[in-house]
Structure 1
Amino acid sequence: MSTAATRTTGPDHLWTVDEHLEDILATVRPLEPIELQLLDAQGCVLVEDITVPVSLPPFDNSSMDGYAVRVTDVTGASEEYPAVLTVVGDVAAGQAEPLHVGPGQAARIMTGAPLPPGAEAVVPVEWTDGGLGEGPVTGMRARSQAPEAAGGQVHVYRSAEARAHVRAKGSDVKAGDRALDAGTILGPPQIALLAAIGRGTVRVRPRPRVVVMSTGSELVQPDEQLGPGQIYDSNSFALTAAARDAGAIAYRVGAVADDADTLRSTIEDQLVRADLLVTTGGVSVGAYDVVKEALSPVGDEDEEGAGIDFRKLAMQPGKPQGFGSIGPDHIPLLALPGNPVSSYVSFELFARPAIRALMGLDDVHRPRARATLTTDKALSSPKGRRQFLRGTYADGEVTPVGGAGSHLVAALALADALIVVPEDVVTVEPGTEVEVVLLG
Structure 2
Amino acid sequence: MIQRLPPSLTSLDTALAALLRGVDPIAPIELPLAEAAGCIAAGTPLLASYPPYDAAAADGWALRANDLVGASSYSPLPLTKAPAWVEAGEPMPYGCDCVLDADAVDISGPLAQVLAEGVPGQGVRRGGSDIAEHTPAGAEGYPVSATALLLARVAGGNGLSVRRPRLRIVNVPDATATTHMIADIACAVGLDVETHQAGTRDAASIAEALDASACDLLLTIGGSGVGRQDAAVKALAQRGDVIAHGLALQPGRTAAVGRLGKVPVVALPGSPDHALAVWFALALPLIDRLSARRPRRSATLRLARKIASNVGIAEIVLLAEEHDAWMPLAVGEWPLQAIAGADAWLLIPGSSEGFAAGTSVDAYLMRE
Please report the TM-score for the alignment, with normalisation by the length of structure 1: 0.72
How far residue 36 of structure 1 moved from its aligned partner, in angstroms, is: 3.1
Aligned amino acid, residue 300 of structure 2: A
- Following superposition, the deviation at residue 156 of structure 1 comes to 1.9
Question: How far off its partner does 1:422 sit?
Answer: 4.1
Task: Write the distance in 2 (CA, Å) between the matches of 1:431 and 1:120.
Answer: 58
Q: How do 1:231-242 residues align onto structure 2 when only pairs under 5 Å count?
A: 233-242=176-185
Q: Identify the residue that residue 298 of structure 2 maps to in structure 1.
A: 367
Structure 2 residue aligned with 1:337: 269
Which residue in 1 is equivalent to 2:94? Answer: 117
1:44-89 CA distance string (max 9 Å, x none): 333224234x43222222212111123343211111111232554x
Deviations 1:127-169 (A, max 9, x none): 234x335xxxxxxxxxxxxxxxxxx743321101233222222
Give the secondary-structure state (helix, strand or coil) at the position aligned to 2:129: coil
Looking at structure 1, the residues matched to 338 and 135 of structure 2 have their Cα atoms a distance apart, in angstroms, of: 49
Q: Which residue of 1 aligns with 2:146?
A: 188
CA distance 1:275–1:121, change in 2 (3 Å): same
Q: Which runs of 5+ in 2 are unaligned?
A: 1-5
Q: Distance in 2 between matches of 1:174 and 1:414?
A: 40
1:326 corresponds to which of 242, 256, 260: 260
* CA spacing shift, 1:120–1:45, aligned 2, 3 Å: same
User: Given residue 325 of structure 1, which amino acid in structure 2 is its aligned partner?
Assistant: R
Amino acid across the alignment from 2:20: L
Match of 2:221 among 280, 286, 291: 280
- Deviation of residue 430 (structure 1)? 4.6
Residue number in structure 2 paired with 1:6: none
**Counterpart residue number, 1:142:** none
Q: Residues 179 and 69 of structure 1: is their aligned pair in 2 closer, same or farther, counting only changes over 3 Å?
A: same
Note if contact 1:314-1:385 (Cα within 8 Å) is conserved in structure 2: yes
Residues 190/412 of structure 1: CA separation in 2 closer, same or farther (3 Å cut): closer
> Aligned letter for 2:112?
V
Shift of 1:265: 1.1
Structure 1 residues 255-266: aligned runs within 5 Å:
256-266=199-209
Structure with higher Rg: it is 1
- Provide, for residues 311-369 of structure 1, a one-character-per-residue CA deviation record: whole Å limited to 9, x for no partner: 33222121233223225xx3321112233211111111211232233223132x45253
Partner of 2:165: 208
Q: Does 1:438 align with 2:354?
A: no
* Higher-RCO chain (CA-CA 8 Å, sequence separation at least 6): 2
Aligned residue for 1:30, secondary structure, equals coil
Please, what is the CA RMSD of the aligned residues? 2.9
Distance in 2 between residues matched to 1:248 and 1:391, nearest whole Å: 25
- Specify the alignment match of 2:112 in structure 1: 154
Which amino acid is 2:170 matched to?
M
Specify whether residues 107 and 253 from structure 1 end up closer, same or farther in structure 2 by C-alpha distance, changes over 3 A only. same
The code of the aligned residue for 1:296 comes to A
Q: Secondary structure at the match of 1:203?
A: strand
Is the Cα contact below 8 Å between 1:366 and 1:439 reproduced in 2?
no
Match of 1:247 in 2: 190
Aligned to 2:318: 390
User: What code does the residue aligned with 1:83 have?
Assistant: L
Describe the shift of the 1:12–1:259 C-alpha distance in structure 2 as closer, same or farther (beyond 3 A): closer
Give, in whole Å, the separation in 2 of the partners of 1:349 and 1:198. 40
1:108-147 superposed matches below 5 A:
108-129=85-106, 131-132=107-108
Question: Which residue is 1:311 aligned to?
Answer: 245
Query: Corresponding residue for 1:17?
Result: 12
Match of 1:291 in 2: 232
For residues 397-416 of structure 1, the aligned pairs below 5 Å read 397-402=325-330, 404-405=332-333, 408-416=335-343
Partner of 2:3: none
Q: Aligned residues: percent identity?
A: 28
Are 2:344 and 1:417 equivalent residues in the alignment? Answer: yes
Query: How far, CA to CA, are the matches of 2:225 and 2:69 in structure 1?
Result: 84
